[in-house]
Amino acid sequence: YWSLKFGIPKKKGVIYDLRKDGFQSVDRPVFFLSTGRCGTKWFASLLANDSHLKVFHEPQPNLGSQGKTVYEIYRKSKFKVSENEKELINEMFLAGREQYLRYSYKSQKRYVETNKQITCFAPAIHEMLPSALFVHVIRHPGEFIRSAIRRKFYEEGNKEDLKRIVPVAGSEDDARWHQFDQLQKNAWLWNETNNFIEEFKSRIPAEQVFTFNFNELTKDNSVRLIHFVGAGIRESKIKKTLGRKSNIQKKGSYSPYDDWDSSAKDKLIQICGKLMETYGYH
């Protein structure tokens, strides 16, 4: 099963040995951090052009509900988790990714994951895999919210909301949560997810993280991403991939951000305004 996924192994490797050396032998894995609905499947298709990488958009298990639990642990402790909590988070991650890392080592292919559900595991990943690289993908909140509402995020009865973060109990946001409409809840999701990522980024070396603005999806920015990841992909391949669209939302109806009325835009700005300015979304 794993050889079919990764190809014929080039060396031997067992979990015991990888754990013993602290996964130091796993070569620079790459993890994308995001809210989702911002081109993560497109990035997977781009990086898959390098045969030395093994790229997964939605590996299984996707760790969605586990990521939500991890978010709550980090937020309640303000990123100062206990040793027991740290061990728990590490084992939750390894339960879902240990074999992927093992066969990445055995096949000598660098592991790349663009799955949004991994986002809240980022502090643990950095500690377990110190050579890991991170790509933070951002997108205008109005565009994200439109896509999220069309996908029925935070709509009553949506079973996928089991995997979506909500304000931790007792927080200021928790007190307002039940008064929020669907637009405000998705604005909070965009803002809180990116704030979580920004706090994580401030705690790791700058050279290990690259921020990609999906609203500026150009050849030059894509080339910079390729260089950061250390992938070998020709510019002609980049140009060809730029012409493709992946995982487009076709169902559901909701107006584009430019067509929102002022009250809807005000709701977004009240929640996301500070980060919007930071990212240059005026």
Which pLDDT does position 88 carry in this prediction?
Answer: 97
Task: Write down the pLDDT at residue 153.
Answer: 98
pLDDT given at position 248? 64
Bond into 61 cis (ω within 30):
yes
Q: Residue 165 has which token pair?
A: 């973060």
Q: Is the Cβ–Cβ distance between 89 and 81 less than 8 Å?
A: yes
pTM for this prediction? 0.96
Q: Supply the pLDDT for residue 253.
A: 82
Q: What is the pLDDT at residue 101?
A: 97
pLDDT at 134: 98
**In the chain, which residues have pLDDT < 50?**
none
